[in-house]
């Protein structure tokens, strides 16, 4: 069975239970997913992450977008919730919930990605990531910006957009993420993790 045939025979997240979303939530997320499909089908790959970040902006302004189940956190680390998985496995939409002090490793991504701030004020630190003669990479921080609700950004796959996100506030942070691969089985597989070098 080809991937397309397998996708066609799979239940659609927009006509079935939609990862636990209420119908109102499902409609907004599925409309966004349809827009992402249009972008993937019409734009050069290099323009996809920026266009998806732009298309995300209306969702970030919707106070009823997320169900309670998609806002649950956990004590150990930030928590991911899959909101939508493309049946053709071309992208995944997630919410990430950050308690105060929770932080990602310094990392790049194995696919393009788009990120938006839904609630709170996370920080995004960016890193240069040169490789030494042995091919080992040594990230050095070059900027650290505090974001606000409604802000968006995007990354390309690989080591040119290495970053870290953290919640340095005393309030909950919620971010929305779209990545250009299937992450239902293993959301962690999106990250290329690196050890930061003190600068
Ligand atoms: Fe990231």
Domain architecture of the chain: domains with CATH: 12-194 (2.60.120.10)
What's residue 28's pLDDT?
87
Taking the centre of ligand 1 as the mean of its atom positions, its distance from the CA of residue 109, in whole angstroms, is: 6
Taking the centre of ligand 1 as the mean of its atom positions, its distance from the CA of residue 68, in whole angstroms, is: 23
Mean pLDDT of the chain: 87
Taking the centre of ligand 1 as the mean of its atom positions, its distance from the CA of residue 199, in whole angstroms, is: 21
What's residue 25's pLDDT?
72
Mean pLDDT of 167-184: 96
Q: Say what the pTM is.
A: 0.87
- pLDDT over 90 (residue 101): yes
- pLDDT over 70 (residue 5): no
Taking the centre of ligand 1 as the mean of its atom positions, its distance from the CA of residue 165, in whole angstroms, is: 7
58 falls in which pLDDT band (50, 70, 90)? very high
Query: pLDDT tens for residues 120-138?
Result: 999 999 999 888 888 888 8
Q: Is 131 exposed, middle or buried (0-12, 13-18, 19+ CB in 10 A)?
A: exposed
27 falls in which pLDDT band (50, 70, 90)? confident
- pLDDT over 80 (residue 4): no
Nearest to 175 by CA among 86, 94, 113, 108: 94
Taking the centre of ligand 1 as the mean of its atom positions, its distance from the CA of residue 107, in whole angstroms, is: 6
Query: pLDDT tens for residues 79-92?
Result: 999 898 898 999 99
What's residue 20's pLDDT?
54
Taking the centre of ligand 1 as the mean of its atom positions, its distance from the CA of residue 1, in whole angstroms, is: 33
Q: Are 161 and 109 in contact (CB under 8 A)?
A: yes
Higher pLDDT, 118 or 23: 118
Q: Is 106 exposed, middle or buried (0-12, 13-18, 19+ CB in 10 A)?
A: buried
């Amino acid at each position: 069975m080809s991937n397309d045939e397998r996708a066609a025979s799979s239940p659609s997240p927009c006509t079935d239970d939609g990862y636990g979303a209420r119908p109102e939530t499902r409609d907004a997320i599925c409309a966004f997913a349809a827009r992402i499909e249009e972008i993937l089908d019409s734009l050069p790959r290099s323009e996809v992450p920026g266009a998806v970040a732009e298309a995300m902006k209306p969702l970030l302004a919707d106070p009823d977008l997320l169900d309670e189940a998609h806002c649950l956190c956990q004590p150990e680390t930030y928590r991911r919730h899959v909101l939508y998985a493309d049946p053709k496995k071309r992208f995944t939409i997630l919410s990430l919930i950050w308690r105060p002090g929770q932080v990602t490793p310094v990392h790049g991504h194995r696919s393009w990605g788009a990120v938006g701030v839904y609630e709170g004020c996370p920080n995004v630190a960016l890193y240069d990531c040169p490789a030494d003669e042995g091919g080992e990479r040594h990230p050095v921080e070059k900027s650290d910006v505090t974001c606000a609700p409604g802000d968006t950004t995007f990354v390309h796959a690989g080591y040119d957009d290495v970053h870290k996100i953290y919640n340095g506030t005393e309030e909950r942070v919620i971010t929305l993420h779209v990545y250009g691969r299937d992450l239902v089985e293993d959301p962690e597989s999106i990250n290329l993790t690196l050890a930061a070098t003190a600068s």
